[in-house]
Structure formats: structure tokens, C-alpha cells
Amino acid sequence: MSDPVEHDLELTTVRPCTIYGAFDPNFMPLFARINALPLSIRPVGMRMSYVYAGDVAEGIALALEQERSIGRAYNLTGDGESWQDLTDAWRAAGGKTPAFALPIPVPLAPQFDSRRAKQELGWRPRSLVDGVRDTFRLEGR
């Protein structure tokens, strides 16, 4: 494999976590199906780092605009929200949620921290509620 320096490439790495947003063919359809059931599951102890797709694009644009990002890596993630946090945001944005959710222990802690992207790039991800509202608006829900 070639060395980036050999080809005079200036690289920046961005690492988003669980991406959600409009027209997502992966995570959002699964989340919607689970929440559309009258009886569902609620993973307890599972904290993810959800990030809205538009915020990922914004983070990439900010990294491209700033020379200081060259050679750096940035995690573009949420703040370790729970499945229940996302479900609450889904409901607040007008999405359907189950009448009852069976708690299932899933001990999973967030693995990434976005402080560097916030401090060095000025990146600010939107709240879960705002991200889900934007998702519904763009999808015409």
C-alpha cells in the first residue's frame, strides 16, 4: 500500500457512529418497525452514539474548511444516548411507539467521544428530537 506522504495527500479522518436520518435504508427502517409494534423491546443499559446524517455532512464540511484538521481524526457522534432516548425523541417528533416495551438488558456503553470535533471544528450535532423531526419532514411524514 502506498504512503499518503509519497503522493502528497493531506488526510483527515471522520468517524461517525450510528447514523440516522431521512431515506436511511439501514437503521431507521429497523427502528421504525420495532416502534410500530404494539408490544416491543426496550434495550436497557445500551447507550449508543446516534448522529444525524446532516450533522455528519456538516462535520465533514467543517473539517474540509480548516487546515488544522489535516492529519487529525474526528469522531462525529452523539453523547451516548439510550434506545429509550431515541424512542422518546421519535414520539416527540410524532412517530408511533409501542404501547408497551419489554425491558431487555443489553450492557453496551458508547465507545466514542466527539469532544475534539466540537472543540477544534466547532461542530455541534442537533438534538435527537430535532434530528428525528428533520428526518420526518424530509421524508414527508
Pair 128, 81: CB distance under 8 Å: yes
Count CA atoms closer than 13 A to 82's CA, side-chain side: 13
C-alpha 56, offset from chain centre: 8
Which stretches of the chain drop beneath a pLDDT of 70?
Answer: 1-5
C-alpha 129, offset from chain centre: 12
1-19 pLDDT, tens digit per residue, is 556 557 778 899 999 988 9
Selection from 129, 123, 95 nearest residue 16 by Cα: 123
Q: What's the pLDDT score for residue 76?
A: 96
Q: What's the pLDDT score for residue 7?
A: 75
52-72 pLDDT, tens digit per residue, is 999 999 999 999 999 999 999
